[in-house]
Structure 1
Amino acid sequence: MDILDALFRKNIIIPIKWIPYSQFKDVKEMTKGGYGIIYKATWLSNNETVILKRFENSKNNNKYFLNELKSSQHCYSRNFHNHIIKIYGFTKDPELGDYVLVMKYATEGDLHKYLQKEFTNITWNYQKLRILWQISEGLEHIHKNKFIHRDFHSGNMLFDLNTSAGKNYQWKIGDLGLSQEINNESSNNEIYGIIPYIAPEIFKGSSFSKKADVYSL
């Protein structure tokens, strides 16, 4: 099935920007996830560092690519929420044929790495409450759009320095690849995520829910 046809079938709510792969240089692999490989690259036309998330074998099975694209569109694009990572568009790896999401690069890394580095220095009266407030706002926005994250943990909470706003630090939620609409009847009961962040009821056969997301937070 043609990818553009699939986008319309999935009821994507705003037009998706196609970005030619030739627009990216200095593409370097950073890490591998469950369904994709993360690269850091320079976007030439914007002179900006971005993240490229390549979905392995998506030329044959684009399920996870389409799911993350749909979730991001619903949860970010309706109100351009500050605390959800921005998706710029998509492209295609010319050699492998895999589809690739183009996303904003969070300059300061994720919460897991931040805590490892700053755990003894951060204070309740500013840093900890600020992190909790901003991530909670992002999660509330996802839930208001009738989605659940389903893979909420410190590695998906990203720290970005917005230099255009004068060193405005913002925490953002990323990786909506496993997100689903609330009460999605096609959703299975497989257990996803990192064990310490998974709500106890999930191990007893309950479905993922907004409450399970809040437990992860």
Structure 2
Amino acid sequence: MRLCFEFEGDEIITIYGVTRDPQSAEYGIVTKFINGGNLREMIKKNHSSLTWETVLNILFYVCIGLRHVHYIKYCHKDLHSGNILINKNTRFGNLIEPAISDFGLCRPMDQSSTDKTIYGVLPFVAPEVLLGREYTKAADIYGIGMLMAEVISGEPPFADRDYDENLALAICFGQRPHILLNHMLR
């Protein structure tokens, strides 16, 4: 979470502070209000009306946000459409402003881990991570590639398959999602 305080800009969720419920003792994060849900929901509801300009704008700003994360030598480690929040800025004609969120798995690049547990949403986890290698910024870039496939096709990567060990093996052996042309953008 400290990471989020190090940025200024709309590409990463703005965190204002932390609060704690006095009765339940649970913590909550106070963030900038985001009015458009997440990218996964937006794609599900609006894919047929998305233009290439909108899609490229979304992907560009997600890449800028990830560049910020990598610039300060961190890896996100859980980049997928559910962790990209969407703000619809009505002051500028419904401009869609994506913001990377959920930095719970984020770690410094130079922090090696003895924990070999694999985290994340399977299609977005890089093959080298599935094979037990260290998580690097290249694995985040793989996640961006899967994000691109989802935004362009309108379907989550490997939507026609179970997210199980067979899919993990297929990814390790080089299988990538097919982008169905009948779902292409306008």
Normalized against structure 1, the TM-score is what? Answer: 0.62
Pick the aligned partner of 2:135 from 201, 208, 214: 208
Give, as a single letter, the amino acid of the residue that structure 1 aligns with 2:11. H
Give matches, 1:118-129, under 5 Å.
Answer: 118-124=46-52, 126-129=53-56
The equivalent of 2:88 in structure 1 is 161
Pick the aligned partner of 1:181 from 108, 112, 120: 108
Q: 1:187 to 1:159 in 2, by over 3 A?
A: farther
Stretch moving more, 197-206 or 177-186: 177-186
Give, as a single letter, the amino acid of the residue that structure 1 aligns with 2:122. I
Gaps of at least 5 residues in structure 1 are 1-68
SS of alignment partner, residue 191 of structure 1: coil
Gaps of at least 5 residues in structure 2 are 145-186
Give matches, 1:58-69, under 5 Å.
Answer: 69=1
SS of alignment partner, residue 135 of structure 1: helix
Hey, what's the Cα distance between the residues in 1 that align with 2:142 and 2:125?
Answer: 7
Contact 1:199 1:212 in 2 (8 A): yes
The equivalent of 1:149 in structure 2 is 76
Q: 1:187 to 1:127 in 2, by over 3 A?
A: farther
CA RMSD after TM alignment: 1.7
Contact 1:180 1:187 in 2 (8 A): no
CA deviation profile, 1:93-133 (whole Å, cap 9, x unmatched):
11111222111232011111111111222122x11111110
Contact 1:71 1:177 in 2 (8 A): no
Hey, what's the Cα distance between the residues in 2 that align with 1:165 and 1:130?
Answer: 14
**1:96 lines up with 2:14 in the alignment:** no
Contact 2:58 2:96 in 1 (8 A): no
Q: Between the two proteins, what is the percent identity of the paired residues?
A: 35
The equivalent of 1:72 in structure 2 is 4
Contact 1:85 1:104 in 2 (8 A): yes
Q: 1:187 to 1:213 in 2, by over 3 A?
A: farther
Structure showing the higher helix proportion among its residues? 2
Normalized against structure 2, the TM-score is what? Answer: 0.72
The equivalent of 2:9 in structure 1 is 81
Hey, what's the Cα distance between the residues in 2 that align with 1:92 and 1:187?
Answer: 31
Q: Which 4+ stretches in 1 moved above 6 angstroms?
A: none
SS of alignment partner, residue 30 of structure 2: strand
Higher relative contact order (CA 8 A, sep 6+): 2
The equivalent of 1:108 in structure 2 is 36
Instruction: State the 1:82 CA deviation.
Output: 1.6
CA deviation profile, 1:143-202 (whole Å, cap 9, x unmatched):
001111001000001110235667443111011111001110346322111001110111
Give matches, 1:47-58, under 5 Å.
Answer: none
Structure showing the higher strand proportion among its residues? 1
